[in-house]
């Protein structure tokens, strides 16, 4: 077994609008997770396989914590996005323009909307724990 870095040095944090129903919330979280994972180099993130006693493998689970928080509104999510950009932190976001229709239609609708008019439904970030806590500590755990 290889030596893994301290699991508390980095983390994933997803911050989701508390105004969505459960099905939409899970859909947004899925899109955010996959999108952010695609941006990360294997040297940045660590994924581990778990093996059970019967020799079955449970593959590719994050070594680093994945924390899910909730936001009261779109503007709070926008601020997280802006903070990630200003600190050069990898992120992805999801807006209401990305809900209906296929991805081509969603891209067009987003392109036709000014950023200030976008309603953010979620933001997902990855980085150093201490840095991320500086601007996410005011959010509550999603329960």
3-state secondary structure of 33: helix
Which domains, ranges and CATH numbers included, belong to the chain? 10-138 (3.40.1490.10)
pLDDT at 1 (0 to 100): 58
Q: How far apart are the first and last CA of the chain?
A: 34
Q: In sequence order, what are the residues at sequence separation of 6 or more whose Cβ sits closer than 8 angstroms to the Cβ of residue 24?
A: 99, 121
> Along the chain (143 residues), what's the average pLDDT of each consecutive run of 10 residues?
87 98 98 96 90 97 96 98 98 97 97 98 98 98 95
């Amino acid at each position: 077994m290889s030596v893994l870095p301290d699991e508390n040095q980095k983390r994933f944090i997803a911050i989701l609008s508390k105004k969505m129903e459960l099905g939409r919330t899970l859909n947004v979280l899925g899109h955010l997770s996959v999108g952010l994972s695609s941006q990360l180099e294997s040297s940045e993130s660590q994924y581990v396989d778990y093996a059970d006693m019967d020799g079955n493998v449970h593959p590719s689970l994050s070594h680093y914590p994945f924390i899910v928080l909730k936001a009261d509104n779109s503007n709070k999510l926008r601020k997280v996005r802006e903070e990630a950009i200003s600190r050069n932190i990898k992120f992805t976001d999801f807006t209401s323009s990305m809900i209906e229709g296929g991805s081509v239609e969603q891209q067009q609708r987003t392109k036709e909307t000014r950023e200030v008019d976008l309603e953010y439904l979620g933001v997902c970030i990855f980085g150093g724990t201490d840095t991320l806590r500086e601007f996410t500590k005011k959010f509550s755990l999603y329960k």
